[in-house]
Structures are given as structure tokens and as C-alpha cells.
Amino acid sequence: MINERQEEIIKLLVKEYIKNAEPISSKFLSEKYDFGICPSSLRIEFQILIREGYLEQPHTSAGRVPTDKAYRFFVDNLKEEYEEKIEEELEEIIRGIKDHYRIASEITKYLSVHSSGFAIFSFSDKDIIIKEGFEEIYKNPEAKDFSFIQGFIDYMKNIESNIKEITPGLYIGGENHAKKAKNITLICSECNLPKQKAFVSILGPKRMDYERNIRLINSLNKVLKELI
């Protein structure tokens, strides 16, 4: 069991790691946030969180990075939020479009750009997959690592080949049950299209901006429910 302070440390460390893409040190965190303890006590908290499986230390760094367990804790404690700006932009894009495939195409483009990830829209009753955003993946710092890119391509192909078998949900790193997906996160949601079962997915680095991407999906489904 972890206490409230340790929970707060996890949340803030995950946020900072997502933002900076660099291991986070106890010194950096203690200087930026007030945990009510001295830096040496924060280092002890770090050690506890390492033992509990929430943090790990890269070999070449004095900082710490979140594990799958830390990301899962972070995601599970997010509030269900929507964003008015996203809703307005999506409404403007798809309002008046009657063709579902064109709607799917516009949605996929939007999600890719705003998630900095790879977006997939699929129809369960048809072998149609719309995808966008491989160039967005290359903008992430992880793209400098060839093994990440190779793993991402392999996993992306696997997703496309087995798209109808994916269960809606959020899968972080090892939760993907694919050998080369340990640094990848998949978010998949059913879409509110009338008379058609469709799914939208965002695929990206495990260090993706979960708050933003979950808001994207929530806001999208809200708009689709209201407009279509």
C-alpha cells in the first residue's frame, strides 16, 4: 500500500515525464513541488516507490521513470473529462457531412494531429480501416530509438490484421500482450455511429499524454452522439 503523498509523487512524476521525456530526479521534483518534506526524505519516497514497482531507474541516469504500474495508477485516477475546444473543432469539421466514411476520415486526421499519435478508425461490419499519423509518431523523442520504431511498425501491422478482435479499452505497455509493444499504449473506443458498429483507436508511445488523449476520445463520442 502507498500513502497519499506517494500517490501525489507518482501523479506528478508521470506528468513531468510525459512533458519532458527525460528521467525525473528527486531534486527536480522537490524544487518544483512542495511535498512538505526535505529532498533527502523525497529520495527515500522514491526508493519505496521503486520497491513497490511504480518507478525504475534507467542505467545511464540518476533520474527515475514511471513503470507500467505507475501509468496505470495515473490513468485509473483521471477524472472523466471533456474539452469544449475539442468539441467545437470536431463539430465544425463534421457538421453537415452525411457520409460516414468521410466523417471517419476527418475524425482520424484530427485525432492523429492532436494526439501526436497514430489514429485508426474501423468498421466492424466492413473490412474498412482508415489510418493516419505515422509521421506524427516520428515527431516523438522515442522515434530516435530504432527498436521503438521497429516495434511500433510490427505492432501497428498486428493491430490492422486483427482489428476486429480488439476489445475497447486502454492498454499500457505490457498490457498489450505483444512482445514488441512494451513501450506502446493503445486506446480503443467504440464510436457512436447509428446503425454501424465502429471503433476509433489511438496508438502511440507509452509516454503519451493520457489526459489529452482520453479527453479527445470522450469529447469525440459526445459530439458524435449529439450530431449524428
Please write the tens of the pLDDT for every residue from 142-157.
999 999 999 999 999 9
Q: Tell me the mean pLDDT in the region 167-186.
A: 92
Which helix (DSSP H) or strand (DSSP E) does residue 26 occupy?
helix 26-32
Mean pLDDT of all residues belonging to the chain: 93
Is 124 within 8 Å of 164 (Cβ atoms)? yes
Q: How confident is the model at residue 62 (pLDDT cuts 50, 70, 90)?
A: confident
CA dihedral for 122, 100, 216, 218, sign (positive or negative):
negative
Q: Which residues pair with 134 in a beta bridge?
A: none
Higher pLDDT, 77 or 61: 77
Averaged pLDDT, 77-106: 92
Chain length of the chain = 228
- Residue 192, pLDDT score: 79
User: How much is the pLDDT for 189?
Assistant: 97
Asked whether the predicted pLDDT for residue 73 surpasses 90, the reply is yes
Tell me the average pLDDT across 60-68.
88
pLDDT at residue 195 in the model? 79
Kindly list the distances between the CA atom of residue 88 and the CA atoms of 184, 189, 227, in Å, as whole numbers in the listed order.
Answer: 29, 20, 12
Nearest to 171 by CA among 158, 154, 188, 159: 188
Q: Domains in the chain, start-ordered, CATH in brackets?
A: 4-76 (1.10.10.10), 84-227 (3.30.450.40)
pLDDT at position 179: 77
The share of the chain scoring above pLDDT 90, in percent, equals 79
Tens-digit pLDDT profile for residues 97-140: 889 999 999 999 999 999 999 999 999 888 899 999 999 999 99
